[in-house]
Amino acid sequence: MFLLGHTCWSYLFSKATGRELNVNLPAYLALLSGILPDFDIYFQPYIAHHTYTHSLLVVVPVAIVLTYLFGKLGFAFSIGILSHLLGDSLVGTIPILYPLLPNYDVGLNLGIPGVADTILEIGAFALVLVYAYFNSDYRLVLKPSRESLLLGIPLFAFVTLTLLFAGDRSIPLAAFAFSRRALTVITLGHILLSGILALGAVQGFRWYLGKGRVKRAIAGDVSPIQPPT
């Protein structure tokens, strides 16, 4: 599954879990959790992609530790991480017991890119837009706030992982992204999600600038309200 699907499904699963547990997992963490297993791309060639970080022997202990340290928030975040393995096992296979059984792969292998993968990714993106409206996360891209600024974290991971993955495999990203109808649809979803996250980060930057202005005003350097001329 591409990063679009991982990001969106983790948001849905982790947010829904947090709601059931009466905790509010911040949007940036809900989005970030689903792409954490692909952080192995940052460490290539020292860690091969789609190995340790896609194994239950690694992910489950990490989830247990996160839950122990952060309680309900850690559990909700862990559900987002585990959703990555679920997504990959639907459209492909995962080495579920790596490194104990490195060649034991499990999954439905529905195909990527393909009809099933496209439906899963675009469908998840559409559901995120609806869910974000009802839980008020949409305000993060409309009003300056600290949490809006933190949307820059999943945005950075989203973009850099895509570029690194393509670079490591010498994939001409622009040509590949629009080479097939399914890829074109998924690419447009990536662009839209990146744009939404970027808009949120801009709102966060506005919050940061406004916070600095208020501090200077309190210190007497500037007046927060200019007198009429």
**Residue whose entry in the numeric block shows the structure tokens 């949007």:** 27
Q: Sorting pLDDT into bands at 50, 70 and 90, what band is 189? A: very high
DSSP at 41? G
Helix (H) / strand (E) containing 203: helix 181-218
Residue 111: domain span: 3-216
H helices present in 103-180, as ranges: 115-134, 146-150, 152-168, 173-177
131 within some domain: yes
CA–CA gap between residue 11 and residue 127 (Å, rounded): 10
Question: What are the tens digits of pLDDT across the range 89-122?
Answer: 999 999 999 999 999 999 999 988 889 999 999 9
Question: What are the tens digits of pLDDT across the range 9-31?
Answer: 999 999 999 999 999 999 999 99
DSSP at 48? -
225 within some domain: no
222 within some domain: no
Q: What is the domain count for the chain?
A: 1
Question: What are the tens digits of pLDDT across the range 136-151?
Answer: 999 999 999 999 999 9
pLDDT above 80: residue 182: no
Is the pTM value of this prediction over 0.95? no
118 within some domain: yes
pLDDT above 80: residue 74: yes
